[in-house]
Structure formats: structure tokens, C-alpha cells
């Protein structure tokens, strides 16, 4: 029987059918256990790349597997549709951002469908649609009401030639991306979300997230950056001023030899007013103002400072130490003031060396003697306190406590916990984003748009061609409005929200995407949330994943949802690389998914992407690998067709040894594939088990003339069902061909019979220096390492090896181990 695997025809046929009957549609079924499987939604940048294909294919296998395992599965998709690239396209190609975005969405939707991903398309979300961004504005207003949204002056990137604020991403090595002017820092009023209110909870709850990769949790913890220390009050000599520092090392207080202020510190001007130092300080401030925070805090950055001419008095010993300004002290962290301890802080050490300031050792590492003359770098560890008056001799930890107590008693300081996390700057001076729904009224101040007037729509007739002028500001009909409270003329806010606000709650919206009276329906959210498995790139470890957790906590505090963590399990997929490098246009090593799909079909593309590497690891593209997967699918296709005639009637032949072997193989395969998917997401090993199974079937086909149709049927059914999450199109076609009316998607995942699944046993021969010394019964699927371990731990073998050095262990899988001794 001849049958060619015409993947193009098959895939088209099934995609049309799935679409027509919307087979992946789901609704809440109270009482039925659910699984919410979610991949991070794409930014509609143009076309899908291999990274997308990997992301969505992984999610699809997990979704299909869970559906077949009896869960009610929610598996939605959408597009993160606001954002800068659309605006860039408008400027460079003259196409409206909206048009550009929707064209790309159409392309990407078609590609997702051509990959056969099992989405409930009726739940698709496009974040720039008014019925979605309306609720983003509504949420903003709730934040405002709660005091979680506020406006504040802050230092931002400013291009003097374009006369506009730039996002960090628009600053390329310190220059404007558009006109190449040098970018300055400016103090401007900006909108913030008060994520710092949740710093503690965001940190503590990380512990509950057992299904998250450790490194993502570490990255979030570092970003939140909790530290314990003390606030210590210094006074300024000759002035009635107090300056508080934040320090994590109160035990080093006696080693403070100078004092540092951030150049932006509000006291600086007062300290130097009318003194000969004023001019130099002013120039230093200007110079540092142009530097970004990243530059200022990088370790390689040359430490720079400027003396103020005034002195601070150390509260523990009344020592007078000079006050300097330093580039590496930031106003946004702690109090913007630092007691500098050069002997025990590396930055202070470098600063002291450069400006010839004294270095005083106050912490002695145990066992080593440390002296100022010989230190080449700061000793930053803990130790025993020295040169510290009554605290001398105490251990760092002990001394820290004692000093804090002492300061508290004197009213000069107190213990303090500090977080590195800053409030989230959400305003953007951009067009293609969600408008911030407030107006400015001379009488009433900042006035929120009433809920009944939401959404504030983006006007579409805007001009992108005027250089440097951000389109909304000049649009009178948009800007000029009435104050909702007093009805006098008012100006509309022209800033839009950071697009990360759109992606911070979309997973909730999927549970009721057409809800008209709220951002999402509380009941459907209660049923579906939290997301059971989230899948996406590691690059979102901090921003998106932290923002989404923050939003969820706020929405929960607003009584809108019950959960406090949105994603229970997180899988961060590895990159797709080719020739050792990340696929990128500039390197010219991009493989286009469309090309692979048209040449080999979506099923091959899916299979290869899952087979080539475990999901969290990097995936090296290999043309041979793709070929191999294609050949495998062809083999399955041909084999099932060859077997089809034997499936028709029940030929009840007695089971012989070949039948039994096949039966074992069926159940072992089910067991291993299930475990590989369920416990480890090891899709690659799951696929190789299926490949082994196909080999066994092929062998059976050749060896057994009198086929046992009952066993054979079980084998073929099993093969099609367990392969279907990986290669759904071909499996649907085969499933139909062997006489099924319903889609294989509705089939139950097969269970295995433990007796049949038990691995075969073999006699493992153990040799020492080539002589057989023992025979051990082990299971046939034992790994090489296990074989080696078993051999070395045999009592008989120990006798021969005792006192000798094992030089080499040779393992022949499934047969023997030879231990070579010296
Ligand atoms: C004295 C000291 C002695 C410090 C010592 C460290 C070691 P973390 O751990 O990240 O919280 N610091 C405080 N505010 C700062 C600011 N605005 N800009 C730059 N540096 C600042 O860092 C806390 C430490 O960073 C503080 O403890 C302070 O230096 C410095 F042997 O105080 B330490
Ligand atoms: Zn008003």
C-alpha cells in the first residue's frame, strides 16, 4: 500500500476544521478541575520568529496533554499591541501605528494558526482595542484613588534638540536615537505607580513560588534588594543641620573618615552658599547631572568627587570628617548621604586613594592581620571590631546590635530596613499607548476622568512628521477639554502609560474577555486563576513578572480577585541559536518559521523544536535535525498505513512472545512519556521514547506474520494519541483514517498497566580486568551511571577491587561493566 505524507494538504484541512468548529473553545465547568496554560503574549512586531515558535509549541503540548488528561484547559492568546516600534514605523514608513499594528496581528494570527496551536480564539485580546484599554484606564483611576498612582518630579532623559523626553531604550550610548544629540538629564513631572508599598510582600511571597526557577526568584529578590541596617544622624559643624545616612554596616562607624552626599542632595547648596567652594560644586553637579544612573553606579566607573569645605560630626566619637560630593552616591537610594568607610567599602577605598583621604581599619578578619599600610583593597567582610572604643573586641554582628542600641538611646539613630526597588515610572511622552485618564484644571488641580466617560480614546488624525514634537501635545481638539468637576476649560493629560501596564493584568482578562462591566468577571477569574503554567523568556524575569505580581496584589486588595500570586508555575524557555549565536537579522543566521513550515510542515517544525533540546536549555538549530524529524513522521505515516488492513477485523490469535513484547513496549512507552511530560517537561526524551516505540512496531510488523489485531490496535491507538500533542495535524488525519469520528483532541490520555509497564530484566555481567566476577539482575532500561554504580557496589566485586585504584570503568549498555584497576 502506497501512501505519501502530504503534510501541506493535511495541515490545511485540519486547521480549517478546527477553526470552523472552534474545537478549542472552553467555558467554566464548575466541579471539573481546571488548568490554565499561558504563554507570554507576543508584541506584534511583524512576523513570528523561532523563539515564538518554541514558546507557543511548548505551551501547546502542555495544554493538549492536560486536556487529554481530563482537565478543563484554558489556553488563550492575544497581542501586546501598544508600544514604540509602531510609532517608529509611523515615522520611518509613514504608515499609521494602528494600521501597522493590525497588519502585523493579522500576519501573526495566521502563522499561529498555521502552527496548529490549540487556542480558544474567541478569547483573543488586543490591548489597543478600546474595550481592553478602557479597563487599563479604569485600573489606573483605582490606583489613583488608593494613592498608588502619583505625580512627582523626577530626573529623566531629555534631548535638547528634539525637545522631548526619551525612554531609556531611546538613549543609545548617551545619545538621542533620532538626532544623535547628547542626552541630558532633566527634572520633570512624571507619573509613578507605588510598587514600593508592596516591596516587602513581593519579596516574601517569592518563597511560596515553588514552581518558579530559582534564578528568576533570585533576580527578583536582588531587584527588590532588601537590606538591613541603620539610619544614623550626623551633624554639620558650625551649622544647625542634621544629615542622616543609611548604612548596612553600623559596626564600621568608627572607621568613617569622610562623608559623602549625592550631588543632587537638597542640602548641598546651603552648605556651600557664599563660600569659595560654591563654583566648583556647581560645576561638579552639572557634570554629574548629565550621567545616567547606570554609568554612575557601574563598578568600572572612575570615582569622582568634590570637596564642599564643610565637615560632619560623627555621633559616636564626635570626630570631624570632611563632606564631599561623589558621583556614585545616588539621591534615590537610602537618604542620599553616606558615611564613607574606605577600609571596608571598595568604592570608598578607591575614592580615598584618589583624593588622599585617610583610611582607618576598624574590622579585623579573624586570623589575618590587616593594616592600613598594606591594604590593596577594602576588606568588606565581617570580623572583630578594633579601634572602636568600648565596642572593640565585639564581633561585627554583635557590634551592629550594640551600636544601634547605643544610637537609639542617644536619639542619634535607629535600625532600618531598606529596599532598592523604586517606584515604577509609568508615564511616556508617546502617542501609541494607553492615554492616562486625567485632566488638569486651574481650579481643581488633577481631576480624574469619570468612569462613565471612559475610555479616553486616542485621536487617530495625528501628524508624525513634525520633528521632535510628540503628536498629542499639539492636537488642540484632544488637549482642550472641560474639567469634569467645575466645567471650566481644562487640559487633558497627553502622556500615555508604559505598555508594561497593559501586560500586567491581561491574564485576568482572558478569563472573561468580553466582560462589559468590569476589567474581568470575578467569578470566572475565581474559577480559572491562578495560571497553572506560565511559559516565556527569561528576559522578563524582572520587569513583566514583577509588575504582574504587583498588579495582582493590588487588584486583590481592591477586592477584584482572590489570588495574590498570578502564576504558580513558571517555565523559562531557552533561546534558539544557530551557529552558536542567537538568531538575529544582523548576524544573518535567522531561520524563518514560514520557510520550515512550507518545506516540511508545521508538525515537523513542532517536533524538531521540542526534540532538539529540553525546554529550558538553549536550542541549537540543525537542518539535519529537522530532516530527521521529517523522516520520522514519514515513517509513522507509512507504518500506520501498512498496519491499517490488520486493524479492520478482530483476528483473535493467541498472544505469542512477539505480541507480548509489543504489549510491554506499549505500556512502558505510555509510562515514560507520561512521566517525561508531566513531571519534567522533558519533551525531548518523551519524543525519543516514542521513536523507540515506532522502531519496536516496525520490528513487529516485519517479524509477526499472523498479526494479533487486538494488540496491534492498542499499539496504533496509543501511538497516535501520545504523538498527537506534538504533531497534531498528522495524528488527526491518521486517527480519522483508522475509523474515528471525533477529533483525537477529545481522546483521553492512555493509562498504563503497571504489570505490563514493568521493565524487562537482564543479567548484568560484571568483570574486573576482563574476568567475569559477578552477575547482577537489573532492569533493562537502567542508565549507564546506574550500571556503573550497581557494579561497583556489589559485595563480590568490592573484594576484587579493594585496596586498588580504579583506573577506568567500561560500560556496555544493557550487557556488561568492566572495571579496570591499576
Ligand atoms: C557605611 C558602610 C561601610 C557601608 C561599609 C558599606 C560598607 P546596600 O547593601 O545595597 O543596601 N549607600 C547608602 N546609600 C547610598 C546611596 N544613596 N548611594 C550610594 N551608596 C549608598 O548598600 C548600603 C550601603 O551602600 C550603605 O552602607 C552605604 O555604605 C551605601 F564597610 O555605609 B555603607
Ligand atoms: Zn476644575
For the stretch 705-714, pLDDT in tens is: 777 888 999 9
Burial of 105-132, coded b for 16+ CB within 10 Å and e otherwise, reads beebbebbbbbbbbbbeebbbbbbeeeb
Does 7 have pLDDT greater than 80? yes
Q: Report, as an integer, the average pLDDT of 179-197.
A: 87
- CA 340 to ligand 1 centroid distance, Å: 8
Nearest ligand by distance to the CA of 327: 1
Q: Report, as an integer, the average pLDDT of 653-679.
A: 90
What is the C-alpha radius of gyration for the chain, rounded to an integer number of angstroms? 34
Distance of CA 42 to the CA centre of its chain: 13
Other C-beta atoms closer than 10 Å to the C-beta of 814 total: 14
In the chain, what percentage of residues exceed pLDDT 90?
Answer: 75
Q: What is the mean pLDDT of the chain?
A: 92
Write the pLDDT tens digit of every residue in 429-459. 889 999 999 999 999 999 999 999 999 999 9
Instruction: Report the residue among 334, 363, 379 best suited for mutation to probe ligand 1: largest number of ligand atoms under 8 A from its CB.
Output: 334
Q: How confident is the model at residue 169 (pLDDT cuts 50, 70, 90)?
A: low
For cell 508531566, name the residue: 678
**Which residues have CB under 8 Å from 342's CB, separation 6+?**
255, 257, 258, 348, 349, 351, 352, 353, 357, 358, 359, 360, 378
Sequential DSSP letters for 231-264: EEEEEETTSS-EEEEEES-GGGGGG--EEEE-TT
Write the pLDDT tens digit of every residue in 535-554. 999 888 888 999 999 999 99
- CA 280 to ligand 2 centroid distance, Å: 46
The listed range with the strongest mean pLDDT (324-338, 652-666, 757-771) is 324-338
Q: How confident is the model at residue 65 (pLDDT cuts 50, 70, 90)?
A: very high
Write the pLDDT tens digit of every residue in 744-780. 999 999 999 888 888 777 789 999 999 999 998 887 7
Quick one: residue 795, left, alpha or beta (phi over 0 = left, psi -120 to 50 = alpha)? alpha
**Which residues have CB under 8 Å from 702's CB, separation 6+?**
none
Whether 252 is in the pocket of ligand 1, judged by its Cβ within 6 Å, is: yes
Other C-beta atoms closer than 10 Å to the C-beta of 466 total: 10
Nearest CA to ligand 1 atom 12: 338
DSSP 794: -
Which pLDDT belongs to residue 527? 97
Cell of 143: 490606583
Assess contact for 507 and 548: CB atoms under 8 A: yes
Least confident of 7-11, 224-228, 299-303, 597-601: 299-303
Which helix (H) or strand (E) segment holds residue 481: the answer is strand 480-482
Does 1 have pLDDT greater than 60? no
Q: How confident is the model at residue 671 (pLDDT cuts 50, 70, 90)?
A: very high
**Which residues have CB under 8 Å from 280's CB, separation 6+?**
306
Which pLDDT belongs to residue 657? 83
- CA 232 to ligand 1 centroid distance, Å: 12
Whether 227 is in the pocket of ligand 1, judged by its Cβ within 6 Å, is: yes
Write the pLDDT tens digit of every residue in 243-264. 999 999 999 999 999 999 999 9
Q: How confident is the model at residue 161 (pLDDT cuts 50, 70, 90)?
A: confident
Cα 496 to Cα 492: distance, rounded to the nearest angstrom: 11
Q: How confident is the model at residue 467 (pLDDT cuts 50, 70, 90)?
A: low
Other C-beta atoms closer than 10 Å to the C-beta of 350 total: 18
Burial of 389-426, coded b for 16+ CB within 10 Å and e otherwise, reads eebeebebeebbebbbebbeeeebbeebebbebbbbbb
Q: How confident is the model at residue 373 (pLDDT cuts 50, 70, 90)?
A: low
Residues measured by CB to lie within 5 Å of ligand 2, the ion: 441, 443-444, 483, 485-486
Nearest CA to ligand 1 atom 28: 247
Q: Report, as an integer, the average pLDDT of 200-223.
A: 96
Which pLDDT belongs to residue 3? 73
Cα 471 to Cα 459: distance, rounded to the nearest angstrom: 10
Cα 499 to Cα 75: distance, rounded to the nearest angstrom: 23
What separation in angstroms does the CA of 520 have from each of 87, 92, 136?
Answer: 29, 37, 11
Sign for the pseudo-dihedral over CA of 285, 291, 297, 298: negative
- CA 265 to ligand 1 centroid distance, Å: 16
Amino acid at each position: 500500500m502506497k501512501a505519501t505524507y502530504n503534510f501541506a494538504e493535511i495541515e490545511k484541512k485540519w486547521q480549517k476544521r478546527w477553526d470552523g468548529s472552534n474545537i478549542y473553545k472552553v467555558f467554566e465547568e464548575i466541579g471539573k478541575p481546571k488548568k490554565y496554560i499561558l504563554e507570554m503574549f507576543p508584541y506584534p512586531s511583524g512576523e513570528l520568529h523561532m523563539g515564538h515558535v518554541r514558546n507557543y509549541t511548548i505551551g501547546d503540548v502542555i495544554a493538549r496533554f492536560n486536556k487529554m488528561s481530563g482537565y478543563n484547559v484554558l489556553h488563550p492568546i492575544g497581542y501586546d499591541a501598544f508600544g514604540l516600534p509602531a510609532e517608529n514605523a509611523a515615522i520611518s514608513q509613514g504608515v499609521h501605528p494602528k494600521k501597522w499594528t493590525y497588519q502585523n496581528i493579522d500576519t501573526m494570527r495566521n502563522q499561529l494558526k498555521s502552527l496548529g496551536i490549540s487556542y480558544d480564539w474567541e478569547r483573543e485580546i488586543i490591548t489597543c482595542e478600546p474595550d481592553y484599554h478602557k479597563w487599563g484606564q479604569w485600573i489606573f483611576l483605582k490606583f489613583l484613588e488608593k494613592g498608588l498612582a502619583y505625580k512627582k518630579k523626577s530626573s529623566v532623559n531629555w534631548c535638547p534638540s528634539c525637545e522631548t523626553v526619551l525612554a531609556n531604550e531611546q538613549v543609545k550610548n548617551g545619545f538621542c536615537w533620532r538626532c544623535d544629540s547628547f542626552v541630558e538629564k532633566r527634572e520633570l513631572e512624571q507619573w509613578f505607580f507605588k510598587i514600593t508599598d508592596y516591596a516587602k510582600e513581593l519579596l516574601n511571597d517569592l518563597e511560596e513560588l515553588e514552581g518558579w526557577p530559582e534564578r528568576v526568584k533570585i533576580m527578583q529578590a536582588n531587584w527588590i534588594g532588601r537590606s538591613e541596617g541603620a539610619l544614623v544622624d550626623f551633624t554639620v559643624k558650625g551649622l544647625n543641620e542634621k544629615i542622616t545616612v543609611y548604612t548596612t554596616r553600623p559596626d564600621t562607624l568608627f572607621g568613617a573618615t569622610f562623608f559623602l552626599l549625592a550631588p543632587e542632595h537638597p542640602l548641598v547648596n546651603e552648605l556651600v552658599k557664599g563660600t569659595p567652594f560654591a563654583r566648583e560644586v556647581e560645576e561638579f553637579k552639572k557634570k554629574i547631572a548629565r550621567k545616567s544612573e547606570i554609568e554612575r553606579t557601574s563598578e568600572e566607573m572612575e570615582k569622582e568627587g568634590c570637596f564642599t569645605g564643610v565637615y560632619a560630626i560623627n555621633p559616636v566619637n564626635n570626630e570631624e570628617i570632611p563632606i564631599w560630593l561623589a558621583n556614585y552616591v545616588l539621591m534615590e537610594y537610602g537618604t542620599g548621604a553616606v558615611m564613607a568607610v574606605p577600609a571596608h567599602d571598595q568604592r570608598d577605598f578607591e575614592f580615598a586613594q584618589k583624593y588622599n583621604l585617610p583610611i582607618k581599619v576598624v574590622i579585623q578578619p579573624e586570623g589575618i592581620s590587616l593594616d592600613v599600610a598594606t591594604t590593596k583593597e577594602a576588606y568588606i567582610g565581617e570580623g572583630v571590631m578594633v579601634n572602636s572604643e568600648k565596642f572593640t573586641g565585639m564581633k561585627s554582628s554583635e557590634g551592629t546590635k550594640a551600636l544601634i542600641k547605643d544610637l537609639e538611646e542617644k536619639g542619634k539613630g535607629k535600625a532600618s530596613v531598606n529596599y532598592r526597588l523604586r517606584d515604577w515610572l509609568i508615564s511616556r511622552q508617546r502617542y501609541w499607548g494607553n492615554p492616562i485618564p486625567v485632566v488638569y484644571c486651574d481650579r481643581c488641580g488633577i481631576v480624574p476622568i469619570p468612569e462613565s466617560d471612559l475610555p479616553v480614546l486616542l485621536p487617530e488624525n495625528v501628524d508624525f512628521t513634525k520633528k521632535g514634537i510628540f503628536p498629542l501635545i499639539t492636537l488642540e481638539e484632544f488637549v482642550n477639554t472641560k474639567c469634569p468637576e467645575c466645567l471650566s476649560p481644562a487640559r487633558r493629560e497627553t502622556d500615555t502609560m508604559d505598555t508594561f501596564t497593559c501586560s500586567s493584568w491581561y491574564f485576568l482578562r482572558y478569563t472573561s474577555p468580553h466582560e462589559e462591566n468590569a476589567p474581568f468577571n470575578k467569578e470566572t477569574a475565581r474559577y480559572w486563576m491562578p495560571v497553572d503554567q506560565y511559559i516565556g523568556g527569561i528576559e522578563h524575569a524582572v520587569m513583566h513578572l514583577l509588575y504582574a505580581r504587583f498588579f495582582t496584589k493590588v487588584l486583590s486588595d481592591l477586592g477584584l480577585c482572590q489570588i495574590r500570586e498570578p502564576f504558580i508555575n513558571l517555565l523559562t524557555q531557552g533561546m534558539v541559536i544557530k551557529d552558536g549565536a542567537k538568531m538575529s537579522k544582523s548576524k544573518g543566521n535567522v531561520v524563518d518559521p514560514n520557510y520550515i513550515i512550507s518545506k516540511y510542515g508545521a508538525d515537523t517544525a513542532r517536533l524538531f523544536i521540542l526534540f532538539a533540546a529540553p525546554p529550558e536549555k538553549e536550542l541549537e538549530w540543525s537542518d539535519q535535525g529537522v530532516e530527521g524529524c521529517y523522516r520520522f513522521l514519514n515513517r509513522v505515516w507509512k507504518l500506520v498505513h501498512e498496519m491499517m488492513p490488520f486493524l479492520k477485523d478482530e483476528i483473535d490469535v493467541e498472544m505469542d512472545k512477539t505480541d507480548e513484547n509489543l504489549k510491554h513496549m506499549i505500556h512502558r512507552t505510555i509510562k515514560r512519556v507520561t512521566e517525561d511530560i508531566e513531571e519534567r517537561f522533558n519533551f525531548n526524551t518523551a519524543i525519543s521514547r516514542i521513536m523507540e516505540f515506532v522502531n519496536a512496531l516496525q520490528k513487529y510488523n516485519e517479524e509477526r506474520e499472523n498479526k494479533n489485531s487486538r494488540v496491534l490496535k492498542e499499539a496504533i491507538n496509543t501511538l497516535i494519541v501520545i504523538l498527537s500533542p506534538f504533531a497534531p495535524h498528522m495524528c488527526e488525519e491518521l486517527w480519522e483514517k483508522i475509523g474515528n469520528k471525533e477529533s483525537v483532541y477529545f481522546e483521553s490520555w492512555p493509562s498504563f498497566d503497571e504489570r505490563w509497564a514493568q521493565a524487562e530484566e537482564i543479567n548484568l555481567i560484571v568483570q574486573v580486568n576482563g574476568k567475569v566476577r559477578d552477575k547482577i539482575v537489573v532492569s533493562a532500561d537502567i542508565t549507564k551511571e546506574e550500571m556503573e554504580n550497581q557494579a561497583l557496589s556489589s559485595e563480590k566485586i568490592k573484594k576484587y577491587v579493594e585496596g586498588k585504584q580504579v583506573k577506568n570503568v567500561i560500560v556496555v549498555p544493557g550487557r556488561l561493566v568492566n572495571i579496570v584497576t591499576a
